[in-house]
Structure 1
Amino acid sequence: MARRALILVEGHRGNGLLYVQAARLLGLHPITMASDPAQYEYLAAESVKYIHVDTDNLDALIWECSRLRATYEIVGITGFAVENEQVSATVGKLCRHFDLPGPNPASIERCCDKFVQRQILAEAGVPMPAYGVAANSKDAQNAAMGIGLPVVVKPVVGSGSIGVRLCRNLDELASHTTYLLGGKHMSSSPRILVEEFAEGPNYCAEIMGNEVVGIVGSDLGRPPHFVFREITFPALLTDDEYKRIADISLSCLRALGLGWGPTNIDFRWTKRGPVVIEVNPRLSGAPGPQLVQLGYGVNLITEHIKLVIGDKPNLRRSHSRTAGWRSLLPDRDGTLDWIDGDSRAAAVPGVAEVKLYLESKTPIIRKGDHRDSMGHVLAVSPSLPETGAILQRAINLIRWSIT
């Protein structure tokens, strides 16, 4: 009998290994297809089979999958969208070609273009910040003046807070607009979004199918950048606040034609209540799935894989605790001379994981997005104050030097 294979298109620094481990526990053989497999260190460390292929080329992916079917039974295809959200749409097209469960690629593509996403949500009456689109500096200035400074400026296509910046005056707006429109990461027809700065606490709804599994609360770094510093699950919300976020989340799914597989939706709770910052038609990056598992006992990655291979997921909570994550962020650019204390931090009662991403002598160049993190600490306890105290005790044991 042919081995049952799960195809993973591209990889992920945080979730990639978790998908490999979950697939193997389900009796599947994970195979990664990537444009640059060497960037995913866990592939070699875990002896994961991989294929070097241009993942922007749908025909090449179809050919590779067809070739594998001579040896394996491909029971599911999924993938990761970190800096290239089009991967999610490509996965949907692959699933349709091979008649496998998967997302609607047209819905995914609508979400990947943030301007189109905004237009669709606006037509559905979903509360959002005021916004405009620009293809040049003059358009950006006109949009900002219509909205009112300060404004948030971001690429129309992108993720991970890459290129997202708060512009407090016209000089900052002009500088960042020039940077984005001339950036190598932009598409051949670059456009940017200029949005009202929605002030208030940040939340994220974690969704599987049409069910809101839970809501995450997060603390972002100081403007002008939006770098996650601390995340807690479940968020501290009243029943009414939870319902309002959940109801708006489901409205987003209906408007955008989503509702299969994972979705995460970012919110800000402003003076007029929750407003949608972004709908992401994918599982949130680490630590979202880990926090949900620690807090509620629901393994979103395992349940997603079940959907991918045609099984029914189980989203029932087995317990209710408070999980927390804190990022290790550098305070300056330079060279990381040394970093240690991770083993001492991991020994603190209540700490679930400590991970360092960088080694000594690594250059530190802060970019103002998710790539700035040098590592993280995960903790869990029965209450929010206790989890916060555990995180702080662990963080205090980790030291580093940057010169």
Structure 2
Amino acid sequence: MTAMRTKAVVMIENSTSGRLFHAAAKRLGYLPILLSEDAGKYRDLDPGDLVTVFAKTRSIEAVVEVCERLQTTLDIQAILSSSGAHAVVAAGACRVFGLAGADPDAISRCQDKFEQRTRLKAAGLPTPSYKYATTPGNAAEFAAAVGLPVIVKPVVGSGSMGVRLCSTLPEVRAQTSHLLQAADFATSPGVLVEEYIDGPELSIETMGQAVIGITEKHLGPQPFFVEVGHDFPARLPARVRKQVTLAVATAIDALGLHWGPAHSEVRLGPNGPVIIEINPRLAGDFIPELVRLAYGIDLVEETIKLALGHPIDLAARAKRCAGIRFLNPGRDGVLRWYRDPASARTVKGVVEVEIHALGGAPILRRGDFRDRIAHVIAVTPRSDQTITALEQALALLDARIAELHDQ
């Protein structure tokens, strides 16, 4: 008699929500398998929590080869990724194995920000003016025509990496030159230069065409676009909420993202909502955890169930207000903690405090999500109470950056 193979869910690399995916897979009765080029980079992984397997995770063919080998001893029921950079690989592998998943062609088109903008514009949706530039001079010409400041960003990327607001033409040339030469952004021979839309920023969390809710985003100081906090649900007038929801639903349809989660970013400009970008993946930055705390909807678990071909349930079971704040260093140097972070956990409403960097760690800011040194999460019945709890907890995280010569 042939032994029954263990049912498994394969995850391709991780995002900030990776550990939530692993835990949800186990709750659903599946063995989580992490495919990674370097599993050691995930500091929050418990080695006893899942099986890790080396794979060249940027290649559909390499992932398929590894999964075929795993299939000899495991019954792989789903393949997915919490990392936007690997979403197209997961979708492509699902197509090969006949598993439920997104259209890899739609994912690929969406991840190219220039092509995405072109399709959204063709659909009549409000987007910033933009140009695909292949030289610093080309970028500066567009910036001069559209008017400063402008944003210069990689064509493919996430986590605010490589995104910068440029207020002068020399800054435009310098940032373009940097992106064209940096190895981290070598996936395209050009950059995206776009009009800067001044206004509050939101993200819209969806599953297929279903809008789960809207998140209010908080950004750090310019010229970077580091997200330093989120509030869910966003405090918006009903009219604005309706406008944002309609624009995003139309955009998702225009991009062919009819399956699975998406995380869309919108700015409320002077003339109404403007779509900044649509990301064909579940939100990062612990936003799914905020949705779970506020509405009782576990987007991570529902995403896995969708990938398994099971029915999903997106009905809200609660109406609370959740938020997260990230602690970012104000300068480069050496990190010192002057108070036990456990004190922040005593604030009413705070449900999580996590330290990302230990005392004595060197701090070299990069202007993106990797700069964060801690975060706090809170949930209460009212948004003002949640914001107060977050502010109080963050104030108790007494971190200071010392000069190198002070060590």
Same fold at TM > 0.5: yes
- Distance in 2, matches of 1:63 and 1:325, equals 39
**Counterpart position of 1:11:** 14
* Cα distance in 2, alignment partners of residues 310 and 394 from structure 1: 41
C-alpha contact (below 8 Å) 2:159/2:369 kept by paired residues: yes
Q: Partners in 2 of 1:231 and 1:318 — Cα distance?
A: 21
> Which runs of structure 2 are paired with 1:329-368 in the superposition (5 Å)?
329-338=328-337, 340-368=339-367
Higher mean displacement: 204-213 or 46-55: 46-55
The gaps in structure 1 that reach 5 residues or longer are none
Aligned position for 1:26: 28
Distance (Å, rounded) in 2 between the aligned partners of 1:25 and 1:197: 44
2:155–2:188: 8 Å Cα contact kept in structure 1?
no
Q: Alpha-carbon deviations, 1:360-386, whole Å to 9, x = none?
A: 221111111111111101001111111
SS in 2 for 1:142: helix
- Report if aligned partners of 2:152, 2:194 keep a CA contact under 8 Å in 1: yes
| Whole-Å separation in 1 of the counterparts to 2:187 and 2:231 | 38
Give the whole-Å Cα distance in 2 for the aligned partners of 1:206 and 1:56: 26
**Paired residue secondary structure (1:41):** coil
Measure the CA separation in 1 of the matches of 2:44 and 2:400. Answer: 27
Structure-1 separation of matches of 2:225 and 2:121: 24
Aligned to 2:59: 57
- What aligned pairs does 1:201-220 form with structure 2 within 5 A after superposition? 201-220=200-219
The whole-number CA distance in structure 2 between the counterparts of 1:189 and 1:34 is: 23
Residues 180, 186 of structure 2: 8 Å contact kept: no
Change (3 A) 1:44 1:322: closer
Deviation at 1:346, TM superposition (A): 1.1
| Amino acid in structure 2 at the alignment position of 1:132 | K
Deviation at 1:81, TM superposition (A): 2.2
Q: Which residue of 2 aligns with 1:305?
A: 304
Aligned to 2:141: 142
Q: Give the conservation status (yes or no) of the 8 Å contact 2:336–2:400.
A: yes
8 Å CA contact retained: 1:89, 1:108: yes
Could you tell me how far apart the structure 2 residues matched to 1:342 and 1:259 are? 43
Indicate conservation of the 8 Å contact 1:43/1:49, yes or no. Answer: no
**1:73 is matched with which residue: 56, 66, 75?**
75
Match of 2:5 among 2, 6, 15: 2
User: Could you say if the C-alpha distance between residues 188 and 296 of structure 1 is closer, same or farther in structure 2, counting changes exceeding 3 Å?
Assistant: closer
Tell me how far 1:189 sits from its aligned partner.
4.1
AA matched with 2:81: G
Match of 1:172 in 2: 171
Aligned partner of 1:288 in structure 2 is: 287
Q: Distance in 1 between matches of 2:313 and 2:161?
A: 34
Q: CA deviation at 1:187?
A: 2.2
More divergent stretch after superposition (208-217 vs 60-69): 60-69
Deviations 1:250-303 (A, max 9, x none): 111111010211001000001110000111000010221011111111110000
Query: 1:119-198 alignment to 2 at 5 Å?
Result: 119-187=118-186, 189-198=188-197
1:5-53 CA distances to partner (integer Å, 9 max, x unpaired)?
A: 00001122x2111111111000010000001111123444444101111
The residue type equivalent to 1:287 in the other structure is: F
Counterpart CA distance in 2 for 1:201 and 1:43 is 34
| Residue range with higher mean Cα deviation, 56-65 or 164-173 | 56-65
SS in 1 for 2:117: helix
Distance in 1 (CA, whole Å) between partners of 2:238 and 2:265 is: 19
Amino acid at match of 2:358: E
Q: Taking structure 1 as reference, are residues 110 and 347 closer, same or farther at Cα in structure 2, changes over 3 Å only?
A: same
Total equivalences in the alignment:
399
Report the Cα distance in structure 1 between the residues aligned to 2:300 and 2:338, rounded to whole angstroms.
Answer: 31
Deviation per CA, 1:56-87, whole angstroms, max 9, x where unpaired?
222221121111111111110001325xx2x1
**Where do residues 40-51 of structure 1 align in structure 2 (5 Å cutoff)?**
40-51=42-53
Whether the aligned pair in 1 keeps the contact of 2:136 and 2:174 (CA below 8 Å) is no
TM normalised by structure 1 equals 0.97
Distance (Å, rounded) in 2 between the aligned partners of 1:339 and 1:112: 42
For the pair 1:221 / 2:220, whether they are aligned, the reply is yes
- More divergent stretch after superposition (61-70 vs 105-114): 61-70
**Structure 2 letter corresponding to 1:7:** V
1:36 corresponds to which of 38, 49, 68: 38
How many Å separate the matches in 2 of 1:103 and 1:391?
36
Contact 1:162 1:370 in 2 (8 A): yes
Deviation at 1:402, TM superposition (A): 1.3
Quote how far apart the aligned CAs of 1:355 are: 0.5
State whether residues 209 and 259 of structure 1, in contact with CA within 8 Å, keep that contact through their aligned partners in structure 2.
Answer: yes
Tell me the SS of whatever aligns to 2:67.
Answer: helix
Partner-residue secondary structure (3-state), 1:63: helix
TM-score by length of 2: 0.96
Equivalent position amino acid for 1:6 in 2: V
Percent pairwise identity: 39
How far has the Cα of 1:339 moved from its partner?
Answer: 5.7
Give the letter aligned to residue 5 of structure 1.
A
Is the counterpart of residue 90 in structure 1 residue 89 in structure 2? yes
SS at match of 1:185: helix
**Distance in 2 between the 1:163 and 1:236 partners?**
30
